[in-house]
Amino acid sequence: MKTDYEYIDNLVFEYQQGSDEAGLEIIQLFGYCPQTKELSNYLHKYFSLLRYGVINFRDRDTRQFIRLFTSDSAVHKALIPHYQYADTKKAARKTVQMINDRLQSISDTELIHDLCILLLEQAKRFKKKSDKINFCGYLYNSYRYRVHDYYAPYFRNLSYSNRIEPLEDYIDENSEITIKDSWYHDLYFENEEESLGFNWILGRTANYPFNQLSQFERTLLSLYDDKKHTYEEVGNIMGYHRDTIWQKRKQIKSKLEELMKRPPEDC
């Protein structure tokens, strides 16, 4: 990427005035070439992290981004210094794995498109309030927050999410996984304040369309979307491979989408 901050600032101002050519050059400067479909530099860093879990612990921006996704105060604090101990790196990798799992329904093309659009959104928002402020510095300090906020719906309770993942065809749609009722009591407590807890799993407090799901399906959503377990962790708890859990969750989301196309009284 060119390091002429003034040149980049002028491109940003041109883009703000409506120049598509300037917008395209901004995207190219920060690491994406639409002609060759190749990623590099800044955008490549975010793509590699979100898609493949590539973490450069020496990069402060990367550490700050990961901090946005963890509620563990110890890990949150430990990611600030330049050097991290093994336990901090392990916790960070687990957090990034969760991010990768949640975003795996997004294709590579969609993810790259999102990152480019978010970059241009920041270019639109940039205001040069003094000579000491430039777009590169503004982007470095703001882009991670914009990316986090954009994908936030994927990390919220499923029932409150405003963004539905792109759906794939059912995989092994005629199969049905059954589980024993006995182990539910080992995982959950009867706590009405727990939105996707034991009573919700049993269907007592589940509203439409979630009351149309099986106990297995509500359990999977509770573990993954409410308890924030990864696919692998859910698989270990429920006794299935992580890929099976991923496949079943895709089926559940497709089922919910179909249920939402008709009013509850039709069920």
Residues 36 and 141 in one domain: yes
CB 235 within 8 A of CB 177: no
- The residue type of 195 is S
Alpha-helical (H) ranges within 4-107 are 5-16, 20-29, 41-52, 60-67, 73-78, 86-103
CB 197 within 8 A of CB 189: yes
Contacts (Cβ under 8 Å, ≥6 apart) of 177: 216, 240, 244, 248
Question: Considering its fold, how many domains does the chain have in total?
Answer: 2
Q: Note the pTM of the prediction, 2 decimals.
A: 0.58
Q: Which of 155, 179, 195 is the last residue of a domain?
A: 155
Residues 223 and 261 in one domain: yes
Range list of β-strands (E), 136-211: none
Range list of β-strands (E), the chain: 32-33, 38-39
Burial of 177 (0-12, 13-18, 19+ CB in 10 A): middle
Q: How far apart are CA 196 and CA 219, in angstroms?
A: 9
Handedness of CA 213, 217, 219, 224 (dihedral sign): negative
Q: Which of 116, 138, 155 is the last residue of a domain?
A: 155
| Domain ranges, residue 50 | 5-155
Residues 164 and 149 in one domain: no
Q: How far apart are CA 12 and CA 108, in angstroms?
A: 26
Residues 24 and 122 in one domain: yes
Q: What is the pLDDT along the chain (267 residues), one digit of tens a residue?
A: 445 888 999 999 999 999 999 999 999 999 988 888 888 889 999 999 999 889 999 999 999 999 999 888 899 999 999 888 999 999 999 899 889 888 888 889 999 999 999 999 999 999 887 777 899 999 999 999 999 989 888 876 433 233 333 323 223 333 333 333 333 333 333 333 456 777 788 787 888 888 888 888 888 888 888 888 888 888 877 777 787 888 888 889 888 888 888 766 654
Q: How far apart are CA 12 and CA 120, in angstroms?
A: 9
Residues 49 and 10 in one domain: yes
Q: How far apart are CA 222 and CA 192, in angstroms?
A: 14
pLDDT score at 194 = 55
Residues 23 and 135 in one domain: yes
Kindly state the DSSP code that residue 167 receives in the 8-state scheme.
Answer: P
Residues 147 and 166 in one domain: no
Residues 96 and 183 in one domain: no
If we measure between CA atoms, which residue out of 228, 220, 230 comes closest to residue 252? 220
**3-class secondary-structure state, position 240:** coil
pLDDT score at 147 = 94
Residues 37 and 91 in one domain: yes
Residues 169 and 188 in one domain: yes
Residues 121 and 15 in one domain: yes
Cα 244 to Cα 105, 116, 123, 228, distances in angstroms: 15, 32, 41, 17
Residues 81 and 164 in one domain: no
CB 132 within 8 A of CB 79: no
Q: Which of 125, 155, 185 is the last residue of a domain?
A: 155
